[in-house]
Structure 1
Amino acid sequence: MEDNSSLVGGEFLLRQIDKIIIVQLLVMIFSCINILLIVTFFAKECFYTTARYMFFAVTLLSDSLILILSDILLILNYFQITMQVWICIIISVVVLLYLIVTPVTLTVMTLERYVAICMPLQHGELCSQRSALQCILIIHGLSSGPCIVVLSTFFASASLSLYEQYRICSVQIFILHRWQNHLRSAVHQFNFLIMCIIIIFSYVKIMKVAKVASAENTKSTRKGLRTVILHAFQLLLCLIRLWFPFIENAVLQIDFKVFNDVRYFSYILFSVVPRCLSPLIYGLRDETFFHALKNSAFGLYKRNI
């Protein structure tokens, strides 16, 4: 019996290591792509002085940070490595903040397209470099709202001795009572409801402009509509990612093995892949950015040769 159990344990450990290796390969590939996109952003002055590219850079930096931190937490979780709770709180706060920064920034990017197409005369004033920088600060302020709610309920419920304990680090460490889980879910759903309303409003307004647009403006308007749809799709992926912990908890009550598999595949499908593919697709759709991206890639290739 001991030999059988040790074999089963060895097979399980090998499966875990294989999963970790696959994730590391994906994270390395996607991190390199995101770094290339960030380098391209800083390569031309027109990018870091234009509102929509500045917002795009915020999503790139936010997604890259989440990609790296979530990968570190995944490794620590799989190998059951513990840390003091106060250190975990610092890491988790950053993760919680930037999980919200990306969807909020996507919503702002949608509004920028709405202003550009429906209010072209005011676009230059409303979407200047200074306005964009102020807006980025507002994005981080709004995104910190859910973090403040989660932290406030945690600090009010946690004992002082908890901060010095050693535990496996997870965002779920903030959930000490079931009502905190419900409150966190309600806050996230309210935020995404507001974001969805803004995106639907922008889409409807751009559609109205598209119907009355002249032949010259039709191409620009249709491109704006496709951008809004892309942002809606990205928001959907972010929403699914925030819902998955509740699905995982339900699966955990049924079967631990199935829970591990669900958590692994949800991490790859809704955390790793979207954090690179969505920004890459957005970057490729913009002709100016695409040409600069080709030049950056070609320049790096020549240096390596």
Structure 2
Amino acid sequence: MNPRYILYIHLVINDIILLTMFTLIQVLSYIVFTLNVSLCMVMVYIGVTASTNNPLTLAVMAVECYIAVCFPLRHSRICTVRKTYVAMGIIWLLSSLSTLPDIFVAVATESLEFFQSRVFCLSNTIFRHQYFKEKRNILDNAFLVLVWLTLFYTYIRILSAAQAASTDAKKARNTVLLHGFQLLLCMLSYVYNLIMEGLALLFPKGILAIRFSVSIFIHVLPRLISPVIYGLRDKTFRKYLKTLFCTTNAETHPQKT
């Protein structure tokens, strides 16, 4: 019932979806090498949507921290569970609207034979028109500017509140800084193609191993940080986690009387 933990769970669910799609595409690519275009398009769409959700969720979490510190008396009225779910719905709507038109344009411009063919499952191989690249760059930059402005604004406001030596304000300031750090890690995905092109020129025979290694570093490792930053670092979360483990150990190894 706490909006902060609802947003955290939403962030982790997005990471799970993204990692599932990434792992599925990688495994299928190594087993059968090529996939049906329609199947690849669906998996890429789900993965890209989940990836787009991450920075937007970080922005909403930063705003929640800002309200909790700067407007503590109004926090319970502003940050309600219902409004949190509405914010999550808006996040999914924005992410879907940023990727769903790509499928419509592909359906309108590509032939039926193309959707029945098999390709190596990459975004560039299924969305081949130059429009897709330009549109993706514009939307990515717009989302990043919006999220960075939100993070900078909330950090500055929380920083001014932290001057009063408030423990909650200082903790919120550190949390927003961690939001920025994770956003930097998420931005590594925007230099993926540039890194791949450079390494492919240097090592043309090892393109599969390079693609796998770079994908692990850029897409997987940043997602492993979320549970540490937003879970184990939180006192309330740690308290319930300890209670859960203690209960599990007591059930598994009951004390002898």
Query: Normalised by the size of structure 1, how large is the TM-score?
Result: 0.76
Tell me the equivalent position of 1:246: 194
- Distance apart, 1:221 and its partner CA: 0.6
Q: Report the 3-state secondary structure (helix = DSSP H, G, I; strand = E; otherwise coil) of the residue aligned with 2:82.
A: helix
- Could you tell me how far 1:249 is from its partner in structure 2? 3.2
Residue 228 of structure 1 is matched in structure 2 by: 176
Superposition RMSD on alpha carbons, in Å? 2.1
Alignment pair present for 1:86 and 2:38: yes
Aligned residues: 253
Runs of 4+ in structure 1 over 3 Å off: 257-262, 297-305
- Residue-by-residue CA offset, 1:64-85 (whole Å, 9 max, x unaligned): 1211221111112223433321
- Contact 2:29/2:121, CA 8 A, preserved across alignment: yes
Seen in structure 2, the aligned counterparts of structure 1 residues 299 and 248 have a Cα distance that, compared at 3 Å, is farther
**TM-score for both structures, normalised by structure 2:** 0.89
Q: Report the alpha carbon displacement of residue 202 of structure 1 after superposing the two structures with TM.
A: 0.7
Instruction: Please name the residue that 2:121 is paired with.
Output: 169
CA distance in 2, matches of 1:144, 1:274: 22
Which residue number in structure 2 is paired with residue 158 of structure 1? 110
- Percent identity reads 27
Kept after mapping to 1: 8 A contact 2:57/2:91: yes
In structure 2, the CA distance between the partners of 1:71 and 1:297, relative to structure 1 (3 Å rule), is farther
Matches within 5 A, 1:1-305: 49-211=1-163, 213=164, 215=165, 218-257=166-205, 259-301=207-249
Per-residue CA shift, 1:166-188, capped at 9, x if unaligned? 22323333331344223212221
Q: Deviations over 1:202-240 (max 9, x none)?
A: 1111112222x2x4xx11111001000111111111111
Distance in 2 (CA, whole Å) between partners of 1:260 and 1:278 is 28
Counterpart Cα distance in 1 of 2:247 and 2:109: 54
Tell me by how many angstroms 1:189 deviates. 1.8
SS of structure 2 residue aligned to 1:176: coil
For the 8 Å contact 1:80–1:168, the answer to whether it is kept is no
Q: Distance in 2 between matches of 1:117 and 1:250?
A: 45
Q: CA deviation at 1:254?
A: 4.7
Residue 5 (structure 1) aligns with: none
How much has 1:253 moved relative to structure 2? 4.4
Alignment check: 8 A CA contact 1:146 1:188 kept = no
Distance 2:105 2:197 in 1: 20
Contact kept, 8 Å, 2:178 with 2:229, in 1: the verdict is no
CA 1:62 to 1:304, structure 2 compared with 1: closer, same or farther past 3 Å?
farther
The 2-side partners of 1:168 and 1:261 are apart by 15
